[in-house]
A and B are shown apart, each in its own frame.
Chain A
Amino acid sequence: MTAVAEEPVVTRTTGTALLELRQLVVEYGSGPKRVRAVDGVDLEIRPGEILGLAGESGCGKTTVANAAMQILRPPARLVSGSVLFRGDDLVRKSAEELRRFRWRNISMVFQSAMNALNPVMRVGDQFVDAMRAHERIDRRRSLARAGELLEVVGIDRRRLRAYPHELSGGMRQRVIIAMALSLNPELVILDEPTTALDVVVQREILQQVEALKQDFGFAVLFITHDLSLLLEFTDRIAIMYAGEIVEEAPAARLATSAQHPYTQGLLQSFPPLTGPLTRMAGIPGAPPDLRDPPSGCRFHPRCPHCLPERAGLYLRQTSERPVLREVAPGHRVACHLVEEGAA
């Protein structure tokens, strides 16, 4: 485990958070070719809430999840920051402590998780393995629990005897979600859990996750590039761009009062299915190459409000990194424009 550098480690939470990420910095590689994929991310998940983390490919959202789970592998490495779970810093835990911690306290479902099942092992046996690695529980009881969980995610319990290839992609993904819940974790991280699936299957699975959350009371960190999905299924949303959180707000508020030009552009990138249609703009340009991120605000080369005419503001936008500031209760934005009231 990488030692925490520079900043002093604080190991007290503010009290309400289940998981708290503080000034997280993660780099890939080393030397002049290193890439800072996550650059100073602060994020907090409260018990029982669904937090959405949205961003485009390469923005660092999966790296944040991997850091939260403490499963970063070289060339990725945690440079600084802390991951506090109920006030306990995971960064300082030993490998064995972490092994026991994962799945019991935090579990994770990956985008291609459906391919993570062992092809030559019956589904039921895989449940038994996962449970017995963490708990003293006999085979019969763990199979019974696995059966219950399968029914909960809408799969017939007789499918415990099935091999993975006998199930469809959507069913395999549901099996993984059931497995992630098998040890009653307090936090479930879903990293693009439905991206490879059809919209109908996607909605079925997310409806089930919602219902399960009601029953089991776990919190969810839901990571996806699909902002329209988050607006519907989450309580709070954080928007990531080029390794930084640029805006964070309750989902309902973000839908109507997004302040960061990037968030506004993202919202303008999902055409509506109902209501009037207008020609949309999307966002010009492309996400930056993190080997050589833009100076100042990382969004400034694509920002429609970054204009040389407004010299003072322009100088700040192109040279100074904006920090997250609260603009309303629970609504934080990192933007010079908003800060100066010029939006």
Chain B
Amino acid sequence: MSALEVRDLTKRFPIGGALMRSQVHAVEDVTFELRPGTITALVGESGSGKSTVARLLAHLYAPSAGAVLFEGNDVARVRRRRDVLRYRSQVQIIFQDPFASLNPVKTIRHHVERPLRIHGIVPRGQVAERAHELLRTVGLVPPEEVAAKYPHELSGGQRQRVAIARALAVEPKVVLADEPISMLDVSIRIGILNLMLKLKEERGIAFLYVTHDLASARYVADDILVMYAGQIVESGPIEQVLAAPLHPYTRLLLAAVPDPAGKPGRIEPRKGLASAAVDPPEGCRFVGRCPIAIDVCSRVTPPLVEAEPAQAARCHVTAPST
């Protein structure tokens, strides 16, 4: 059973002027599902399209093509305000910057109680009590004291916890966490990751964890999706993928991450270009940087092929389609 299903999701952004019109294929043919009580990591470098996927799922952008299925309905096409509101109450998003996502002139109480009132989650008389409960859930204690504060009185980690409490207020089935820890101090990041693990276990929430940090992805996630230039190039159970990656890009990423526990890796400096997603020609988008490319790679776009049980990759060499 899936909490959210994504099929062939595609988003193109036009760039350039009237004469030199180009398109960024920010997200192309992305297919995956989020399951209850599961954390799925969406990993890739900046510009790979990972945040665009999260924003598409949050109904902040309309897709160019493809479907987002929630409880059997294609919500990508939902337009009526009431339906959008209902969807958003079930699928919440948390952003990278906890400094920007809270209103500086409103108290924490306001932020957490507002969704409770708007979506009518609890009777009016119980709003305050529920807000305290939510703050306690995300580790902000004592809740009465925290609720009375303003965002600037909290640390970055505490603000991100407020953002999470606010997302939880509407009892969502799905939470999209877009780089939730990358702007936080190192010593408090693990606390937020542990909170995600707790919420997944206790509330059965389906998380999409968008990140560029493979080590934190391994720490929290069950499954991984690796994105490169708008496409998913590898997917599967995270331990399996990291232990035996199929796609050369996944291998490159793994070699590049500093790992205190492992041996220092060395990588070959890149030859290719950064913007492989602008007006991409037919063929594999990684071909310019690929150490194992063969003839066909620059001519035919490789499909996502399940080469190992539950593990799929977009590579003519390591995951050939038969």
Residues of A within 8 A of B (CB): 56-57, 154, 168, 170, 198-204, 207-208, 225-229, 231-233, 255, 265-275, 277, 279-284, 286-287
Residues of chain A contacted by B212 (CB below 8 angstroms): 198-199
Contacts A272-B261, A275-B261, A275-B262; is A287 near B46 (CB within 8 Å)?
no
Q: B258 touching A231 by the CB < 8 A rule?
A: yes
Residues of chain A contacted by B265 (CB below 8 angstroms): 203
Q: Please, could you name 10 A-B residue pairs with CB atoms under 8 Å apart, sorted by A?
A: A208-B269, A228-B215, A228-B258, A233-B258, A266-B186, A271-B219, A272-B215, A275-B261, A280-B190, A283-B187
Contacts A231-B260, A280-B219; is A273 near B254 (CB within 8 Å)?
yes
Q: A269 touching B190 by the CB < 8 A rule?
A: yes
Please tell me if B102 contacts chain A, counting CB pairs below 8 Å: no
Query: Which of A168, A202, A203 has the most chain B CB atoms inside 10 A of its CB?
Result: A203
Residues of B within 8 A of A (CB): 45-46, 155-158, 185-191, 193-194, 197, 212, 214-216, 218-219, 242, 252-262, 264-267, 269-270, 274
Q: A168 touching B262 by the CB < 8 A rule?
A: no
Contacts A202-B256, A274-B262; is A227 near B215 (CB within 8 Å)?
no
Query: Which of A225, A255, A272, A282 has the most chain B CB atoms inside 10 A of its CB?
Result: A282
Q: How far is the CB of A119 from chain B (nearest CB, A)?
A: 18
**Residue from B187, B197, B261 within 8 A of A56 (CB atoms):** B187
**Residue from A267, A271, A274 within 8 A of B216 (CB atoms):** A271
Residues of chain A contacted by B259 (CB below 8 angstroms): 228, 232, 272-274
Contacts A168-B274, A198-B212, A269-B189; is A204 near B260 (CB within 8 Å)?
no
Listed from nearest, the 7 A-B pairs whose CB atoms lie closest are A282-B190, A271-B219, A286-B155, A272-B261, A283-B187, A198-B45, A273-B259
Q: A200 touching B256 by the CB < 8 A rule?
A: yes
The secondary structure that dominates the A interface is loop
Q: How far is the CB of A204 from chain B (nearest CB, A)?
A: 5
Tell me, in angstroms, the Cα distance from A283 to B192 when the chains sit together: 11
Q: A200 touching B190 by the CB < 8 A rule?
A: no
Residues of chain B contacted by A280 (CB below 8 angstroms): 190, 194, 219
Residues of chain B contacted by A269 (CB below 8 angstroms): 186-187, 189-190
Residues of chain B contacted by A57 (CB below 8 angstroms): 185
Closest Cβ neighbor of A289 among chain B residues: B155
Closest Cβ neighbor of B265 among chain A residues: A203
Q: How far is the CB of A75 from chain B (nearest CB, A)?
A: 20
Q: How far is the CB of B198 from chain A (nearest CB, A)?
A: 10
Contacts A199-B256, A200-B252, A207-B267; is A273 near B185 (CB within 8 Å)?
no
Q: B187 touching A199 by the CB < 8 A rule?
A: no
**Residue from A154, A198, A225, A271 within 8 A of B185 (CB atoms):** A225
Q: A286 touching B261 by the CB < 8 A rule?
A: no
Q: A277 touching B218 by the CB < 8 A rule?
A: yes
Residues of chain A contacted by B219 (CB below 8 angstroms): 271, 277, 280
**Residue from B45, B193, B215 within 8 A of A200 (CB atoms):** B45
Q: A268 touching B218 by the CB < 8 A rule?
A: no
Closest Cβ neighbor of B259 among chain A residues: A273
Residues of chain A contacted by B255 (CB below 8 angstroms): 203
Residues of chain A contacted by B274 (CB below 8 angstroms): 168, 170
Tell me, in angstroms, the Cα distance from A57 to B155 when the chains sit together: 12
Residues of chain B contacted by A283 (CB below 8 angstroms): 187-188
Closest Cβ neighbor of A202 among chain B residues: B256
Residues of chain A contacted by B197 (CB below 8 angstroms): 279
Query: Which of B46, B188, B253, B265 has the most chain A CB atoms inside 10 A of its CB?
Result: B188
Q: A266-B187, A271-B193, A280-B219 given; name 19 further pairs at CB < 8 Å.
A: A202-B256, A203-B267, A207-B269, A225-B186, A228-B260, A232-B258, A232-B260, A255-B260, A266-B186, A269-B190, A271-B190, A272-B218, A273-B262, A274-B261, A277-B218, A280-B190, A282-B194, A286-B155, A286-B156
